[in-house]
Structure 1
Amino acid sequence: MLFLLLSIFLSVMLLLNFRLFPRYDINTFQAIVFNYLVCFLTGFLLLPARQLFSLDLSQTWTWLALGLGVGFILTFMLSGASTQRIGITATSLANNLSLVVPVCFSLFVFRAGGKPFDSLNYLGLILAVVAVGLSTYKKEPANGPVEETAVAPVKPRRFGAEILLPIGVFLFYGATNTLINYMNIHYIPSADKTIVVMLTMVLGAIVAGLLMLVVRIIRQQETIQVRNLIGAITLGVPNFLSFYTLLLALSQFGGNGAFVYPLYNIGVILVAALMATAFFQEKLSLANKIGLVLAVLAIGLISWQELLAG
């Protein structure tokens, strides 16, 4: 449980970074691209003594890890496009509700974890989905999103093919988390191997991110600034460590994504909501408060066996 708690805390640190970036005029896109270089350095320093990192392209897991790293960047870009064209609320809900994808795969395909789910556990999963939806719901202005992000200028809300964007966010986040769980079960037998696999994932993200950045620089859409590199450092260290501890938590619970992912998601939401209220005076709506209460209940129902055993 310690690794899961650490992953939740470190993930909230990521959210705090994003919350503070506008205050210091840090370009979020550049910070995310360069943060993967910091992630790689962090992981490299954590390699056990006398263990070297190298790419073995003859291994299936190497290609899966590289592809997953590219998926991280593509999912981020898709989320940005969805936020601009459809709205923050729909995109945030699609992101958080995507937990049902790895949960379903873990329960019915991978059958990981060694612990059968009972009726209370399934009720907890249902409440977790409802809790995530309610606790992340934010009302938007009637005329749609008005913020500008680093990806592209804001466009007025339109309907049609663009409504598929949040669906794409849901599927991409669900697919990447499911692939992470699959690799954890089949290709990450030890903590030492975890870092090697993670470094390979990060390498894929570095290549894809730098290619996107170069294209944007050629198009004169980006200018490299030192403060963005500083933001990448504050983002990259907790980013790598949050992912690392999440993988260790999955290993600790036998790859049981049906247990780990709901607790991780609603744990991040609970802690982030408390910190946002305490430090940024963000107000919670009635729906948000109901969602947070349901989240606590969902945690109890999902993990009641572990809580009693402890």
Structure 2
Amino acid sequence: MLYLILSVLLSVVLLLNFRVFPRFQVNTFQAIVFNYPVCFLTGYLLMPAGQTFTVDLSQTWTWLALGLGVGFIITFMLSGASTQRMGITVTSLANNLSLVIPVCFSLFVFRVGGKTFDGWNYFGLVLALVAVGLSTVKKEEKAQRRTVGINVLLPVAVFLMYGATNTLINYMNIHYIPSTDQTVLVTLVMVLGAVIAGMLMLAVRLVQGREKLEVRSLVAAVTLGVPNFLSFYTLLLALSAFGGNGAFVYPLYNIGVILVAALTAGLFFHEKLSIANKIGLALAVLAIALISWQELAGWVAPPE
């Protein structure tokens, strides 16, 4: 349980970073770009003994992983923008409720759901979509409505991109990576894809004169990159501790991030939620519980 708690806290730390970057005048784009080399170094140091990092371009999964890295950096940038403009709570809801997308693909496309969904599970999927909609509702003055209307698309984009990347990860696990001992190696290849994409984007912006390297962005990359990789790594350790029962671990993880993020946003940043937002928050927790009620009930009252 310790690893699961650490993963939840580290995931919220990522959102906190984005929330405080404007206060310290951190260039969010540069911090995200440089966070991935930090991620790579952190992951490299955590590689199991005896493993070496190699990139085999003859393997299909290698190209998929590199492509996923590009998706990661785009998603991370969307998450940063959404956190700064729509708040921590809304972004965490969009992020964690994106599990609906890979779940649906597992059930109806990959057909490897691992269990038979009942009416409550499907009801939970529907509630999750409603929760995303309610969580993005913002009441603003007339002069701000146009800007808010555009910003509302950010958490929706976060929801779709996180869902798409997680679905592709699931696809890779099913078809190309049957061995779990390669998890860190595969993750490093994904991070490498993000490093390459990020550096190319930064180089173009530097040549165009749209960016100037800032020291504070390099410092921020450390505070972002270390928890970024460790949140994923501790989640893997949590999965191992619970016998690989992702159907149980992921719902607890998602509920934990949503609740801790909402509590943190209220205590430290005084983010105000409308009635619709609060209903969306409650529905989000209920939705995740309904999607995995069988696993949660089995853990609370295991069979004798």
TM-score strictly above 0.5: yes
**C-alpha distance in 1 between matches for 2:160 and 2:245:** 24
Residues 69, 205 of structure 1: 8 Å contact kept: yes
- Corresponding residue number in structure 2 for 1:150: none
Q: Deviations over 1:60-109 (max 9, x none)?
A: 1111000110122334566789999xx859x9587666543222101112
Please list, as runs of the form range in 1=range in 2, the aligned pairs for 1:231-242 lying within 5 A after superposition. Answer: 231-242=220-231
Q: What is aligned with 1:151?
A: none
Q: Does 1:138 align with 2:128?
A: no
Alignment of 1:1-310 (within 5 A): 5-76=5-76, 88=86, 98-144=98-144, 171-246=160-235, 264-310=253-299
Moved more, 58-67 or 179-188: 179-188
2:302 aligned partner: none
Distance 2:265 2:154 in 1: 27
Kindly indicate whether the alpha-carbon contact (under 8 Å) linking 1:128 and 1:262 is maintained by their aligned counterparts in 2.
Answer: no
TM-score norm. by structure 2 comes to 0.80
Tell me how far 1:115 sits from its aligned partner: 1.8
User: Root-mean-square deviation (CA), in Å?
Assistant: 3.5
> Aligned pair in 2 of structure 1 residues 82, 41: CA closer, same or farther (>3 Å)?
closer
TM-score (norm 1): 0.79
Q: Are the counterparts in 2 of residues 97 and 133 from structure 1 also a CA contact under 8 Å?
A: no
Q: Which amino acid counterpart does residue 194 of structure 2 have in structure 1?
A: A
Call closer, same or farther: CA 1:261–1:178 in 2, change over 3 Å. Answer: farther
Where does structure 1 lack aligned partners over 5 or more consecutive residues? 147-155
Q: Distance in 1 between matches of 2:255 and 2:126?
A: 12
Moved more, 123-132 or 63-72: 123-132
Higher helix fraction (1 or 2): 2
Which stretch shifts more, 16-25 or 295-304?
Answer: 295-304
C-alpha contact (below 8 Å) 2:3/2:238 kept by paired residues = yes
Residue 56 of structure 1 deviates from its aligned partner by 0.6
* Deviation for aligned residue 1:29: 0.4
Q: How many residues align?
A: 294
Asked if the contact 2:96–2:258 (Cα under 8 Å) also holds between the matched residues in 1, the reply is: no
Amino acid paired to 2:213: I
- Contact 2:15–2:80 (CA under 8 A) maintained in structure 1: no
Number of the residue aligned with 1:152: none
Q: 2:121, 2:290 within 8 Å by CA — same for their partners in 1?
A: yes
- Aligned to 1:26, the other structure's residue is in SS state coil
Cα deviation, residue 176, structure 1: 1.4
SS in 1 for 2:142: coil
1:212 aligned counterpart, secondary structure:
helix
Give the Å deviation of 1:8.
Answer: 3.0
Q: Distance in 1 between matches of 2:186 and 2:52?
A: 12
Call closer, same or farther: CA 1:134–1:28 in 2, change over 3 Å: same
Unaligned runs of 5+ in 2: 300-304
Per the TM alignment, residue 50 of structure 1 is displaced from its structure 2 partner at its CA by: 2.1
Counterpart CA distance in 1 for 2:50 and 2:140 is: 53
CA–CA separation in structure 2 for the residues paired with 1:20 and 1:29: 14
CA distance in 2, matches of 1:166, 1:102: 17
Q: Following TM superposition, by how much is the alpha carbon of 1:232 offset from its aligned partner in structure 2, in angstroms?
A: 0.4
Tell me the secondary structure at the aligned position of residue 306 of structure 1.
Answer: helix
Counting aligned pairs with the same residue, the percent is 72
Distance of 1:136 and 1:56 partners within structure 2: 42
- In 2, the alpha carbon distance for the partners of 1:68 and 1:124 equals 28
